[in-house]
Amino acid sequence: MQKTSSRLLALLSLLQTHRDWSGDDLAERLDITPRTVRRDIDRLRELGYPILAFKGPSGGYRLDAGSQLPPLLFDDGQAVALALALQSAATSPTIGEDAARALSTIRQVMPSRLRQRIDMLRVTAVQSPETGSASLVGTQLLMEVSRVIHAREELRFDYGHDATGLAEQPRRTQPHHLVTCRGHWYLIAWDLDRADWRTFRVDRIRPRTPTGPRFTARDLPGADVAAFVAGRFRGTDGSTADWPCHGEVILNLPAQAVAPFAQDGIVEELGPDRCRLSLGSWSWTGLAAAIGRFDTEIQVIGPPQLTGAFAELAARYANAAGTVRSAPPPDAETSR
């Protein structure tokens, strides 16, 4: 039987891989009794891990979200993937500094074998010329704007024509959506003083406190955020309108993580770990491949051609994965 410390780490690793585990399954995987599983679960809870118990034939456990971030356990593949993702995100004008600090923290606690692999795999992410003038928006400002959107509270803010000067009167708005397009973050909101929809550059917003009263959300014209934003910037900010194929998907990633690599797509925040991506490409399979690079769960909103392209790519990749080519026999002249 494993020692208690190593057994707790093994238990934590299992809880992180699946949503739900029955007590019997955990006992079998760890080669311990269900009673020992219950004791180890209690120990992990004492260490700050929010583990919920649910009823069933043999009971079960779930690692839940808590009020604080407890220590996480990654296998080798997850650690390498996380480090590479942070290296790429370090060039982002929005989260670059935070990504670099996170990478430094993770690298310090990595085993030497993994640290050597990361040091050999240096990645330099080069931004396209279109996003070279991306605006700098602090994560704190993005979080505050996101909070009032989800809370449906009126947002009052000073709004300037540039990063330093405030050339307009304070605005009173009902915030609707937070999106990113061509390297800039935008707030879509109903302007109470102008009685119309407006689009604001987030880097020019200076929120005022306190926020206003709660409100009932209005319907956005057309009920399509991507089409609304593309219509506002078509011809001036290089929307995706010129691509022959357009599609929309939902990704299980934060908008801040997707935005730097969405090229000329439109990213709409749906929650702390979900976003909607509207993207264009020269072909449906090219569009599906571009979306697949985000390496996360994908929910296709439409159109059907995009769903078909994912199915076509899946068949191609499955065929490629099942094809094993043997090396050709050495040439007779060479083997002499």
Q: Quick one: pLDDT at residue 299?
A: 92
Q: Are strands 298-302 and 171-181 parallel, antiparallel or unpaired?
A: unpaired
- Find out whether the peptide bond into 210 is cis, omega within 30 degrees of 0: yes
Would you tell me how many other CB atoms lie within 10 Å of the CB of residue 103?
19
Q: Quick one: pLDDT at residue 162?
A: 47
Type of residue at 60 = G
For the chain, the structural domain boundaries read: 4-63, 76-125, 139-218, 240-320
Work out the end-to-end distance of the chain between its first and last CA atoms, rounded to an integer number of angstroms. 57
Q: Quick one: pLDDT at residue 264?
A: 66
Instruction: Read off the pLDDT of residues 221-231 as tens digits, 9 standing for 90 and up.
Output: 766 777 777 66
248 or 14: which carries more pLDDT confidence? Answer: 248
**CATH 1.10.1740 is right for the domain spanning 139-218:** no
Q: Quick one: pLDDT at residue 329?
A: 52
Q: Quick one: pLDDT at residue 174?
A: 93
User: What average pLDDT does the chain have?
Assistant: 75
User: In the numeric block, which tokens belong to residue 9?
Assistant: 């780490």
Q: Quick one: pLDDT at residue 128?
A: 46
Q: Calculate Rg over the CA atoms of the chain.
A: 25
The CATH architecture of the domain made up of 240-320 is: 2-Layer Sandwich (3.30)
Q: Give the phi and the psi of residue 277 in degrees, each rounded to 5.
A: -115, 125
Predicted confidence band of residue 134 (pLDDT cuts 50, 70, 90): low
**CATH 2.40.110.10 is right for the domain spanning 4-63:** no
Instruction: Read off the pLDDT of residues 63-111 as tens digits, 9 standing for 90 and up.
Output: 876 545 556 667 777 777 777 777 766 656 556 677 777 777 777 667 7
Instruction: Read off the pLDDT of residues 263-304 as tens digits, 9 standing for 90 and up.
Output: 667 888 887 788 888 888 878 888 898 898 888 889 999 899
Show Cβ contacts of residue 158 under 8 Å, excluding neighbours closer than 6 positions.
Answer: 166, 168, 170, 171, 205, 206, 208
| Cβ atoms of 110 and 118 closer than 8 Å | yes
Does residue 2 have a pLDDT over 60?
no
- Maximum CA extent, the chain: 89
Q: Quick one: pLDDT at residue 274?
A: 86
Instruction: Read off the pLDDT of residues 9-19 as tens digits, 9 standing for 90 and up.
Output: 788 778 876 66
Beta bridge partners of 247: 279
Average pLDDT over residues 195-210: 85
330 or 285: which carries more pLDDT confidence? Answer: 285
Q: Quick one: pLDDT at residue 43?
A: 87
Closest CA to 155 of 209, 216, 195, 217: 209
pTM for this predicted structure: 0.43
- Distance between CA 172 and CA 151 in Å, rounded? 16
